[in-house]
Structure 1
Amino acid sequence: MNYLSKFMVKINNQLIITIIVVIILTLGMFGIVLPMSIKYLVNHKMYHILLEEQQAFIQEEEAYREGPITDVYHYTVLDNESLYEEEQLDPEILHHLMMYPEFFKGIKGEGTKAEQVVSFHMYKTPNEHIYYLINKIRPGEMLVSYKVDNTSEVLAHELLLNTLSIAVFIFILILIVFLKWTSRLINNLKDIQGVLDTIEGDNLRNAIPTNNYTEEFQEVMCSLDRMRKRLCEEEEAKQQMLHNISHDLKTPLAVIKNYAEGIIDGVYPYGTVEETAHIIYNHAERLEKKVQGLLYLNRLEYFRGIHEAPQWFEMGLLVQEVVSYMKDYEGRQTIEVDTDQSEFKGDPEKWRIVLENLIDNAKRYAKHKICIRVEQDSLSIYNDGEPISIELQTKIFQPFEKGADGVTGLGLAIVKKTVELYNYEITVRNEEKGVTFIIL
């Protein structure tokens, strides 16, 4: 059983088994069903011929007494098994009486055993078949109509051979087409395997050909090519992110290292050891924030694979709370809030981080005013800063992407990952004076 299971794993073996089963069924059909069908057809035809001739004989008996009109012969069997007088019988019937005595001896027995008034029978000889019809026309008298046939068996045999020849030809033709189709199918599957091996080997630069396949395989190849492009884009984004991370971490690390070396050597760039240590602390804190941001971004990827229980909250209340501790109390920038009672799906604490990052980004670029609006299940944050270039709009949500002022960070990348986690979408739009981030 295990061997059979292993054998059936390969599609080639499955196709071989399928072909063998089809051949066996075909041979069974033509070897058993077809001969039986031909035999039934011949018997059915003979029955109707004999029945029609017998009916005609009954209606025009005198005409038939002068000699058989066809090769169907008729005579009467009485209870005493006597026939018409021999001189009244057709010479052919007398000839048949001498050739097939056993046939004529058994007729009365067959007629007696038959329950129907009209019964059809067949008698085989080494060279001929005798088809006969027994009609109990009246009590004690049976009319027998028979036909000696030596061609129907030959014709049936020829018909069977011709049919088998045609069937074998068609079967071979179908088999050739089937094998050609399966060969192409297997080659297409091998091509898919080759493409997957190429993708697995990180060879993502070469486009996948899609034109030399059937429509269904073209769709598969197009899907694989889209996957290749997406993986290529993700790989480029990963490399760019690593480059940006290394560049972003290099400066504070260099400052910390240099200032620490200065302290060791007794040199204090900011005058005193306390002030120099304070600078080291600030840069270490900056590094800590970036590391925490990276860890949180990675956690968001993890959360995408976890099903959270549906949770809804009123966004306006959360906005009011976040603005209360992030607004500029010195009055250089004003934050206007306009909210309704729209509810958003998700964890309020994750949305709190979204609001903090968006407001922090708006404060960085706003000249005087920030407007936050919650209405009809949408959230928008506007600032009256400089517009964002079209090129930057396509990359602004990538990790460590440089903004218009050259600042890099993870805030907007965290925002995008979070809103997508709850099936929302964030876009950026330039206004006549300023920029608006919209979450729908």
Structure 2
Amino acid sequence: MKNSPLALQIWMIFVIITIGISTLFMLLVPWALRDFFTQQTYITIREAQSIYLSNGKALPDIHDITEWDQTNQQYQTVKHIVFLADGEVIAGSTSLLVFNNFDFIMQESRQQQIAAQQYSREINGEKMYYIIRKGELASVPVYLFSYTWESYQNDLVENLFSQLLWLIAIILLLSWMPSFLMARYITKPIIKMENHVRSIANRDWYESIDVDRDDEIGKLGQSIERMRQRLVEQEDMQRTFLQHISHELKTPVMVIRSYAQAIADGIFPKGGLEGSIEVIDKEASRMEKRVKDLLYLTKLDYLFSKRSSDDLINMGELIENIVELLRWQRLDLSWELELADIIFKGGLEQWQVAIENILDNQIRYANSLISITVSEHYVNKQPYMFIRIFNDGPSLEAGLIDKLFEEYQQGYKGEFGLGLAIVREIAVYHGGKIWAGNEEDGVAFYLDIPIRE
């Protein structure tokens, strides 16, 4: 069944449930009807006794002749026998079956303690219901024995049960078709989403999913649509990345190849062997930096998904150590450091890469000065670490400031890199943010990170 279409499965479940309920109903109804009609039989016998004892004066007030005829026939099914304590029958006539069991009836009447009591007895495979009423006639004890057979009750039960059976069958047949249509209605959007997901699996994800409903199926459709949009964005980002990275790698490869070919031919483009090799080394370093950034950006996705262990980091000490390592790249730069010893929890390797990437950017564009400040402040009693990194280089273009930290964006002066995108990923992962802005004498980068102790 699980391999059948979902609409058919839902319909089959509905059919099984309705058949089960109907079967249970058909098993319980005869029992309930028999119990009900048994009580009604005894009520009929009592009323028939009252009419018999009153010579017909106790008949109920019935105005409908049809109802009167039905009631009269019902009372006529009750037979009456009046007998004395010694068993002599003084009114009514006994059938052969009653006569053969009259000794038991006599015994029950003698043992009876109340004025009227109801009994039942199985006689030749058929049940007889009867009431024995005690009384006196001319100061002589007498007994009124009134009885009827189960056959009348059985006829009523069978007649009513057959009518109910037909009614249930008609209701089931009439409900199965709407239930199948309802199952088709429920599964239709699921089938639609299945086709969309199959298309997405085949990388055909440009058609949007429109599921106009707010239930669980609608929420599933909205989730699939968000996934589709994210895949489209991811593909666009990858395409942009491949375009830019191929351009960035093509230039140093072409330079290295042309210089190597020239040296092999005995030509030195930079005037000598040493100068030409220096150009090749510079381009190789540039290409190595691009590849390293790309690999680390991919590594970050893995580290963030695995939630790497936190280290206790002294940000002031970390920045000071990195400055000592990088200051040799440009000995003409002045460094101003105002570093508070702020200790927080985070990924040590990640923050080391982030600070290195920012400082590498500052060293590239600074004219003569780089200033770094680390301080602490509070927002709603939550401690934050604020880092300002300033260089006195040229101002940023207005359109570049908002896009500076996006992945695969062309950077300042047309250079392409992933360094600042890596910094943003690390800052966001630690709950912080990074932005840049032009100041009076240069450009500053700002980091605001919540302190986890």
TM-score of Structure 1 vs Structure 2, range by shorter chain: 0.7 to 0.9
Equivalent positions of 1:30-429 (< 5 A) are: 30-50=25-45, 64=53, 66=55, 69=58, 71=75, 74-76=80-82, 80-83=86-89, 85=90, 89=91, 93-94=92-93, 97=94, 100-106=95-101, 108-109=103-104, 112=107, 118-121=117-120, 131-134=129-132, 143-147=144-148, 152-211=153-212, 215-326=215-326, 332-346=333-347, 348-365=348-365, 368-375=369-376, 376-383=383-390, 386-387=395-396, 389=398, 393-394=402-403, 396-399=405-408, 401-420=409-428, 422-428=429-435
SS in 2 for 1:253: helix
- After superposition, the C-alpha distances for 1:197-245 in whole angstroms (9 at most, x for unaligned) are 111121122222222x563222211111111111000100001001110
SS in 2 for 1:405: helix
**2:107 and 2:214 mapped to 1: Cα distance?**
69
CA contact (8 A) 1:47 1:133 kept: yes
Report the AA paired with residue 396 of structure 1: F
CA contact (8 A) 2:396 2:412 kept: no
SS in 2 for 1:343: strand
CA contact (8 A) 1:268 1:276 kept: yes
**1:331 and 1:276 mapped to 2: Cα distance?**
25
**1:178 and 1:390 mapped to 2: Cα distance?**
60
Of stretches 24-33 and 115-124 in structure 1, the one that deviates more from structure 2 is 115-124
Do the aligned partners of residues 409 and 50 (structure 1) sit closer, same or farther apart at CA in structure 2, a change above 3 Å counting?
Answer: same
Do the aligned partners of residues 249 and 65 (structure 1) sit closer, same or farther apart at CA in structure 2, a change above 3 Å counting?
Answer: closer
SS in 2 for 1:357: helix
Report the AA paired with residue 32 of structure 1: L
CA contact (8 A) 1:77 1:108 kept: no
Alignment-derived partner of residue 8 in structure 1: 2
Greater fraction strand = 2
- After superposition, the C-alpha distances for 1:94-147 in whole angstroms (9 at most, x for unaligned) are 3xx3xx431354355267579986343267899x98532246789x97653334
Do the aligned partners of residues 326 and 18 (structure 1) sit closer, same or farther apart at CA in structure 2, a change above 3 Å counting?
Answer: same
Report the AA paired with residue 2 of structure 2: M
Do the aligned partners of residues 215 and 66 (structure 1) sit closer, same or farther apart at CA in structure 2, a change above 3 Å counting?
Answer: closer
- After superposition, the C-alpha distances for 1:238-293 in whole angstroms (9 at most, x for unaligned) are 01001110111111111111111111111111111121112111111221222222
- When the two chains are superposed, the root-mean-square deviation of aligned CA atoms in Å is 3.7
Q: By how many angstroms is 1:78 displaced? A: 5.2
CA contact (8 A) 1:342 1:374 kept: no
**1:327 and 1:156 mapped to 2: Cα distance?**
104
CA contact (8 A) 1:333 1:366 kept: no
CA contact (8 A) 1:358 1:381 kept: no
Aligned length: 411
Report the AA paired with residue 39 of structure 2: H
**2:192 and 2:147 mapped to 1: Cα distance?**
70
**2:119 and 2:48 mapped to 1: Cα distance?**
13
When normalised by structure 1's length, the TM-score is 0.78
Structure 1: unaligned runs, 5 residues or longer: 1-6, 58-62
CA contact (8 A) 1:342 1:377 kept: no
Alignment-derived partner of residue 438 in structure 1: 447
Alignment-derived partner of residue 63 in structure 2: none
CA contact (8 A) 1:123 1:131 kept: no
